[in-house]
Amino acid sequence: MGNASKRALYPGTFDPVTLGHLDLIRRGCDLFGKLAVAVAENASKDPVFTAEERVGMLRAETKGLPVEVDSFRGLVVDYCRRRGYGVILRGLRTVSDFEFEFQMALTNRALAGDVETVFVMAHEKYAYLSSRLIKEVLASGGDVGGFLTPGVARALRDRLEEMERSAGGTRPPSKT
């Protein structure tokens, strides 16, 4: 029998949160009534923002939505069990996302058969958006206004400039 009251978790790196993530969060809220969002702390991705900063940005950008934001270390399925989440929500943008997500969902199922992964297709407006590409565009002086909220765009521009300065770079400050 189905269980419509399963609580859902949307985990990710969110370095930083993009308009694509926010669209998925909104749709997750519609599907599940409310949504937990969790920043993975131990991402092997060398993030630009600390987990606390990523949590802070997500909280600011989801104000007014039935969303709780937190961070976690270790396996997402362990976090789900500790907190009682029965659903992992993930987004699919491309066929290459599918490959990786399929592998991860099956691994998570092998680890925790009681936690179901649910996929939502990216909105076509945001299907090409990734935090990684946005950072590259901004670092090269491109305009990321259509990809991020103004607050996140500002924070990212400031952080990339800081990193550039401390690395002794000579690139001029980028514009948004």
**Shortest Cβ 170–ligand ADP spacing (Å):** 30
Q: How far is 109 from 57, CA to CA, in rounded Å?
A: 30
Whichever of 7 and 27 has its CB closer to ligand ADP, that residue is 27
Question: For this structure, is 123 an active site residue?
Answer: no
Question: For this structure, is 166 an active site residue?
Answer: no
Whichever of 122 and 152 has its CB closer to ligand ADP, that residue is 122
Catalytic, out of 54, 90, 93, 157: 93
- Whether 96 and 65 have beta carbons less than 8 Å apart is answered as no
Whichever of 89 and 139 has its CB closer to ligand ADP, that residue is 89
Taking alpha carbons only, the member of 6, 19, 8, 24 closest to residue 91 is 24
Q: How far is 71 from 11, CA to CA, in rounded Å?
A: 9
Q: Nearest to ligand ADP by Cβ — which residue?
A: 20
Q: How far is 88 from 70, CA to CA, in rounded Å?
A: 15
Give the CA-trace dihedral at 57, 60, 66, 69, to 10 degrees.
30
Question: For this structure, is 44 an active site residue?
Answer: no
Q: Which residues bind ligand ADP (CB under 6 A)?
A: 12-14, 18, 20-21, 24, 43, 90-91, 93, 97, 122, 126, 129-131
Catalytic, out of 71, 131, 135, 174: 131
Catalytic residue positions, numbered: 21, 45, 93, 131
